[in-house]
Amino acid sequence: MTTAPLQLGTRGSTLALAQAGYVQERLRSLGHEVELVRIQTTGDVSTAPLESIGGTGVFVTALREALLDGRVDLAVHSLKDLPTAPADGLVVAAIPEREDPRDVLCARDGLKLSDLPAGARVGTGSPRREAQLRALGLGIEIVGLRGNVDTRLGKVADGTLDAVVLARAGLARLGRLDSVTEALDPMQVLPAPGQGALAVECRTADTALVEALSALDDAATRAAVTAERTLLAVLEAGCTAPVGAYAEAAEGEEGLELYIRAVVASRDGSVSIRKSATGSLGGAEQIGRDLALELLADGAGAVVDAGGPASKEE
């Protein structure tokens, strides 16, 4: 069989290339020829705060355009950057097994969160991280931060900041786990819905490719992130404050069950509402939806976030 190599669209950042390279290798091991195609996005070109240029969706739009106009056959995204609304003509054909989704602290001198002195400067551009860190009441100062992983870690190395908070998954994919001084306990800081997972997207009409990509799909990860993202979608319709959520498959009395925890917090940390639920792996959407409705019934809709709707962005 002679088929043209699959064209895999990716952003050009080191992290994006590492993620695309992972998918490329998995497809190669299944016998597919795959070439990487770099697509530049507004989010890569601009250094303005994400909230002011349309949020994390800017990373995704250019890749989706390349899929829809046929420049590429598949695209790899960080699932947490993918808007919850489905895109016309496109399908997330594979969600591979996720990395450890926790946020981590990368601090000077090996410090952990509880070692940071009052007034310590901690960098993050994520309202979700900011809200949950403030809610801990440690008296640390949150400093806004953007840029790639190297830029962010550099602010600790050069002494500008005492620490930064990042996704462990990104550091793992870049081989930078040596910078981590503490993995944050989800009891204190819940990750973004979908954090640590990849989404492999292609055209719905490309049925042979949809079928081929399904070999990369991990059922437990898909169930977990489906619950997290359904929760996010329901909350997006009903509140403006940042959302954290983490679902995992765990052995329960009835076999494998999905256990999900979620938080809605005001950016200043003064209010945070946390709830959890368990259910069957097959009922992921319903678990996510029900938990979101419970959070709203508990007042999540009234948690005011000064940043407005776009502030949910990571």
Query: Among all residues, which ones are annotated catalytic?
Result: 81
Min separation Cβ 196 and ligand PBG, Å: 5
Tell me the three state secondary structure of residue 76.
Answer: strand
Q: Strand pairing of 6-10 and 74-78?
A: parallel
Site string for ligand PBG, 187-206 (x = CB under 6 A): --------xx----------
- Span of 27-35, 166-174, 208-216, 238-246 interacting with ligand PBG by CB under 6 A: 166-174
70, 90 in Cβ contact below 8 A?
A: no
Nearer to ligand PBG, 50 or 120 (CB): 50
Single residue of 140, 169, 225, 245 touching ligand PBG by CB under 6 A: 169
Site string for ligand PBG, 74-113 (x = CB under 6 A): ----x-xx--------------------------------
State the Cα–Cα distance between residues 163 and 123, nearest whole angstrom. Answer: 6
Min separation Cβ 80 and ligand PBG, Å: 5
Single residue of 96, 170, 279, 288 touching ligand PBG by CB under 6 A: 170
Nearest 5°: phi and psi at 269? 80, 0
Residue 14, classified by CB atoms within 10 Å of its CB into exposed (0-12), middle (13-18) or buried (19+), is middle
Tokens matching residue 309: 């709707």
Closest CA to 264 of 216, 223, 224, 231: 231
Nearer to ligand PBG, 102 or 203 (CB): 102
State the Cα–Cα distance between residues 12 and 41, nearest whole angstrom. Answer: 9
Min separation Cβ 291 and ligand PBG, Å: 21
**Residues making up the chain, counted from first to last:** 314
Closest CA to 101 of 250, 267, 239, 221: 221
Nearer to ligand PBG, 305 or 314 (CB): 314
Cβ atoms within 10 Å, residue 185: 11
Min separation Cβ 89 and ligand PBG, Å: 24
Nearer to ligand PBG, 196 or 288 (CB): 196
Min separation Cβ 63 and ligand PBG, Å: 13
Nearer to ligand PBG, 78 or 132 (CB): 78
Cα three-residue angle 183-166-231, rounded to 5 degrees: 90
Which residues of this protein are in contact with ligand PBG, per CB under 6 A? 78, 80-81, 166-167, 169-170, 195-196, 314
